[in-house]
Amino acid sequence: MAKLAINGGPPVRTRPWPRWPQWDEREEQRVRDVLHSDDWGGFAPVVAEFEHAFAQYHGAAFGIAAVNGTQTLVAALMAVGTGPGDEVIVPPYTFIATASAVRLVGATPVFADIEADTYNLDPDAAEAAITSRTRAMIPVHFAGHAADIDRLTVLARRHGLVLIEDAAHAHGASWRGRMCGSLGDVGSFSFQSSKNMTAGEGGVLTTNDRALADA
């Protein structure tokens, strides 16, 4: 029987792990362009350029950049009017921000279980968790694997709930040919350093609803 590497056996991998994040002279040049523009504020033209391009790629009409993925969730919850006394259904298997953003607007996160084969919010469990105080659901597209948006959309419409996609892991992911971030009322993306598209930090909201974009 082979000895494990931790016990002195041969390592499974001898080559170095790939560098992350990955970048080249194109990113370096864009950073230099901003640096030399002396326009470092959040309303610099490159921000609007990015918002438009990111939203368009994900099939959404509007993109709104923010400081991180937690604040995009907070902004989405505020935009749809969620606050004290409201409940928001979230999965228990996710980064803390999915639930803590709900608390930051004064609402209560209610955990509904995940599906064993996808690790995403179980629509049956979500339906069982709905009460008269439920205002919204935040399914997470965990590890880029899209949640069952078809069933969750039907559920949200039946009960008059807002559907906010936590797409922090789902840059470029799709569900039945439609891009994540454009499937619910609002999509929330993160660019934190561990994400599959990263700027070190940052986030962006996507939506097809002009009123929500304005809010």
Q: Please give the pLDDT value at position 114.
A: 98
pLDDT at 1 over 80: no
Catalytic residue among 58, 141, 171, 195: 195
Q: What is the pLDDT of residues 38-89, one digit of tens each?
A: 998 878 899 999 999 999 999 999 999 999 999 999 999 999 999 999 999 9
Please indicate, yes or no, if residue 116 is contained in any of the structural domains: yes
Look up the domain containing 162 and give its range.
43-199
Q: Please give the pLDDT value at position 40.
A: 87
Q: Please give the pLDDT value at position 94.
A: 96
Please indicate, yes or no, if residue 70 is contained in any of the structural domains: yes
- Per-residue 3-state assignment (H helix, E strand, C coil) for the chain: CCCCHHHCCCCCCCCCCCCCCCCCHHHHHHHHHHHHHCCCCCCCHHHHHHHHHHHHHCCCCEEEEECCHHHHHHHHHHHCCCCCCCEEEECCCCCCHHHHHHHHCCCEEEECCECCCCCCECHHHHHHCCCCCEEEECCECHHHCCCCHHHHHHHHHHHCCEEEEECCCCCCCEECCEECCCCCCEEEEECECCCCCCCECCEEEEECCHHHHHC
Please indicate, yes or no, if residue 5 is contained in any of the structural domains: no
Domain count, the chain: 1
Please indicate, yes or no, if residue 75 is contained in any of the structural domains: yes
Please indicate, yes or no, if residue 24 is contained in any of the structural domains: no
Q: What is the pLDDT of residues 166-212, one digit of tens each?
A: 999 999 999 999 999 999 999 999 999 999 899 999 999 999 999 99
Q: What is the pLDDT of residues 118-133, one digit of tens each?
A: 999 999 999 999 999 9
Please indicate, yes or no, if residue 71 is contained in any of the structural domains: yes
Q: Is 3 a catalytic residue?
A: no
pLDDT at 2 over 90: no
Read off the pLDDT of each residue in 31-36 and give the average, rounded to a whole number: 94
Q: Please give the pLDDT value at position 41.
A: 82
Please indicate, yes or no, if residue 10 is contained in any of the structural domains: no
pTM (predicted TM-score)? 0.91
Q: Please give the pLDDT value at position 37.
A: 93
Q: What CATH number did the domain enclosing 124 receive? A: 3.40.640.10
Please indicate, yes or no, if residue 23 is contained in any of the structural domains: no
